[in-house]
């Protein structure tokens, strides 16, 4: 009983997104049984992975509260994509995962640290600070890689095929470990109320800074998943992920005010958007209408989450 309640408590924020997930899976199975057949799951997850990764990456800074947001997640994915293919693979001829993965994660950590420095130590508003990083990264990506180029190493492409669940599983394992450390509680406390966190002895600036670094590292993972999916480098795809990832996070019940929600919710939100896309394309709906549908779903989801909270009698 208490276990069930605890589950209900945990999923309450993502409640609407979970209901939507079940409906969308059912509709997709009806419309397109071959595409959703278990034998196709590898490719299917690979197709959804960059969006899920981008949503997961966006979550930590949003959880940290006080307007925390990182809109440079998309361009960072594109930047990692360009560096990995153009510089490491084609120019330097390095294809080993033991070089490419650490290099990508290091780039992510550095960009995340730069964002964290601007947003938490220099105290520029996060949206402005990361807008700066957004533009810088977009420009740098286009400088390194003016036009799409390929291919990608074979092992990386397999990460969008049969092994597509591996990177996501690793991210969840990482987050599960984070949740077992004092840092997670501090992050949620800071996101919930930073003044109270300070009075409770939580090192607020440090906690937020680490959130930006984590976002950077996760965005680099998403960049690798994007590279795996497209099997090449393309300077124009990355930035398109930023806004849709934030939509996925909000849809998944992560409060943009911070301190509420989690990575599971963000992932569900991203899967919802992916499945919705899949349903609408099955009906041959134009991409313009797709955008309208995203917007409507997002607004409805946020309203539903707010209603749910009000109905469950929260005072906070």
Partner 1 sequence: MADRATLSVRGLMVAPGASPVTQTIAPGEIVGLAGLDGHGQERFLKVLAGLEQPAGGGVTIDAPTGARAVTSFRKAVASGIAYLPRDRRATGIFPTQSVLDNFAVSTLSRDRRFGLLSFAARRRRYKAYREKLSIVAPRPDASITTLSGGNQQKVLLARALALEPAVLLLNDPTRGVDVATRHVLYDVFRELAADGMALVILSSEIEEILLLCHRVLVFREQQVAAEITGEDMKSDTVIAAMFGRAA
Residues of the shown chain interacting with partner 1 in the complex, contacts defined by CB under 8 A = 2, 5-6, 9, 177, 180-182, 185-186, 188-189, 191-193, 195-202, 255, 259-260, 313-316
200 vs 300, which CB is nearer to partner 1? 200
What are the residues facing 149 on neighbouring strands? 233
Contact assessment for residue 144 and residue 81, using Cβ atoms and an 8 Å cutoff: no
Block residue for tokens 């990508």: 104
Contact assessment for residue 53 and residue 228, using Cβ atoms and an 8 Å cutoff: no
Which of 20, 42, 39 has its CA nearest to residue 279?
20
Locate all alpha helices (DSSP H) within the chain, ordered by sequence: 2-12, 15-31, 41-63, 73-82, 97-116, 126-144, 154-158, 165-179, 182-192, 194-199, 204-230, 241-251, 263-282, 287-311
What is the rounded distance in angstroms from the CA atom of residue 172 to the CA atom of residue 120?
26
3-state SS, residue 149? strand
| CB of 265 vs partner 1, minimal distance in Å | 13
| CB of 158 vs partner 1, minimal distance in Å | 32
154 vs 316, which CB is nearer to partner 1? 316
| CB of 199 vs partner 1, minimal distance in Å | 5
34 vs 314, which CB is nearer to partner 1? 314
| CB of 208 vs partner 1, minimal distance in Å | 15
What is the rounded distance in angstroms from the CA atom of residue 260 to the CA atom of residue 218?
19
What is the rounded distance in angstroms from the CA atom of residue 111 to the CA atom of residue 56?
17
102 vs 203, which CB is nearer to partner 1? 203
What is the rounded distance in angstroms from the CA atom of residue 86 to the CA atom of residue 89?
6
What is the rounded distance in angstroms from the CA atom of residue 66 to the CA atom of residue 62?
8
| CB of 309 vs partner 1, minimal distance in Å | 10
3-state SS, residue 233? strand
| CB of 254 vs partner 1, minimal distance in Å | 11
72 vs 255, which CB is nearer to partner 1? 255
| CB of 66 vs partner 1, minimal distance in Å | 13
5 vs 287, which CB is nearer to partner 1? 5
Alpha-carbon distances of 119 from 126, 136, 206, 288, rounded to whole Å: 5, 16, 11, 34
| CB of 259 vs partner 1, minimal distance in Å | 4
194 vs 234, which CB is nearer to partner 1? 194
What is the rounded distance in angstroms from the CA atom of residue 94 to the CA atom of residue 83?
12
Which of 95, 219, 81, 224 has its CA nearest to residue 144?
81
5 vs 38, which CB is nearer to partner 1? 5
């Amino acid at each position: 009983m208490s276990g069930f309640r605890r589950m209900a408590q945990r999923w309450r924020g993502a409640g609407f997104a979970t209901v939507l997930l079940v409906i969308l899976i059912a509709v997709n199975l009806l419309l397109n049984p071959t595409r959703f057949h278990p034998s196709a799951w590898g490719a299917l997850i690979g197709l959804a992975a960059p969006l899920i990764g981008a949503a997961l990456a966006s979550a930590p800074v949003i959880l940290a509260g006080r307007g925390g947001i990182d809109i440079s997640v998309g361009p960072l994915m594109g930047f990692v994509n360009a560096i990995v293919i153009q510089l490491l693979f084609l120019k330097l001829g390095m294809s080993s995962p033991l070089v490419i993965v650490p290099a990508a994660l290091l780039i992510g950590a550095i960009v995340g640290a730069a964002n964290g420095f601007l947003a938490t130590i220099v105290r520029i508003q996060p949206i402005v600070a990361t807008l700066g990083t957004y533009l810088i990264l977009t420009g740098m990506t286009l400088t390194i890689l003016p036009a799409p180029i390929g291919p990608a190493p074979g092992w990386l492409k397999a990460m969008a095929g049969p092994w597509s669940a591996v990177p996501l599983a690793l991210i969840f394992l990482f987050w599960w470990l984070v949740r077992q450390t004092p840092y997670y509680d501090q992050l949620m406390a800071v996101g919930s109320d930073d003044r109270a966190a300070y009075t409770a002895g939580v090192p607020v600036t440090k906690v937020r800074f680490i959130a930006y670094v984590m976002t950077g590292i996760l965005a680099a993972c998403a960049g690798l998943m994007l590279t795996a999916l497209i099997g090449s480098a393309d300077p124009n795809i990355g930035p398109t992920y930023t806004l849709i990832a934030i939509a996925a996070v909000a849809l998944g019940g992560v409060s943009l005010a911070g301190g509420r929600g989690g990575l599971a919710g963000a992932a569900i939100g991203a899967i919802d958007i992916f499945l919705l896309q899949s349903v609408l394309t099955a009906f041959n709906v134009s991409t313009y209408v797709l955008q309208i549908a995203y917007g409507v779903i997002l607004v409805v989801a946020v309203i539903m989450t707010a209603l749910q909270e009000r109905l469950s009698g929260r005072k906070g």
